[in-house]
Structure 1
Amino acid sequence: MTVERIVPNLTVSDLSLAVREHTTALGLRVVMDHGWIVTLEGAGGRQLSLITRDATAPVNPDVSVFVDDIGAAYDAATTAGVEILHPLTDEDWGVTRFCYRDSSGNVVNVGAHSG
């Protein structure tokens, strides 16, 4: 399994205001908008996601980690004994993912683009 991308996720109360603030203050541009999560990107492909409430998981993730082999990532997480909060799921928006909580309470969303 190879980690392809890591994106911090900020929980926000007003998504449109947060997008406006970060695009203006940092010159980021919107590269994905699902209405409940927006991913912004700067030069060099660096990304930041803003989220109001996760569409299917019970809690908002603090970070998203995208991998090339989601099955191997899930197996590694279960072997590590971390608390799985959202099971391995094929989501409607074209991502297969799961979420876990680490021993410090951080929620990690692990995903791979489907198909």
Structure 2
Amino acid sequence: MKVKRIMANTATSDLDKAEAFYGEILGLDLLMDHGWFRTYGSNEKMMVQVSFGSEGGSGTPVPDLSIEVDDIETALARFEQASVSIEYGPVSEPWGVRRFFVRDPFGKLVNVLQH
């Protein structure tokens, strides 16, 4: 058996909040829309990964989701323009990433990072 894909699912009664955060701010494409369940993504080739930790590094809490971007400064500007509070960072970490944390509209802690 081979794992082909891992998908994060979040319960919500307001799918438009997902569109604003993941579609508009992060720029993910709407890949599937059943009306009651929407999936966002991109055509980028991605590795299948699932992570576990006792902390998020540098004394931070473990984020619910990590999203790697190609331009951290543009991502930061988009969140700031959308008035999304930055909970941590931006900071260049000793293990080679630059990152910041935000909360999505559903309370999930999101680690936005660039290697």
Deviations 1:34-64 (A, max 9, x none): xxxxxxxxxx831111111122253221000
Deviations 1:54-82 (A, max 9, x none): 22253221000001000000101111111
Q: In structure 1, what residue type is equivalent to 2:75? A: A
Query: 1:45, 1:59 → 2: CA distance?
Result: 24
Query: 2:105, 2:59 → 1: CA distance?
Result: 19
Which residue matches 1:33? none
Which residue matches 1:16? none
Count of residues in Structure 1 that have an aligned counterpart in Structure 2: 73
Q: TM-score when scaled to structure 1?
A: 0.57
Q: In structure 1, what residue type is equivalent to 2:52? A: L
Structure 1 stretches lacking a partner, 5+ long: 1-5, 9-43
As a proportion of its length, which structure holds more helix? 1
Q: In structure 1, what residue type is equivalent to 2:83? A: G
As a proportion of its length, which structure holds more strand? 1
Structure 2 stretches lacking a partner, 5+ long: 1-5, 9-45
Q: TM-score when scaled to structure 2?
A: 0.57
CA RMSD across the alignment: 2.2
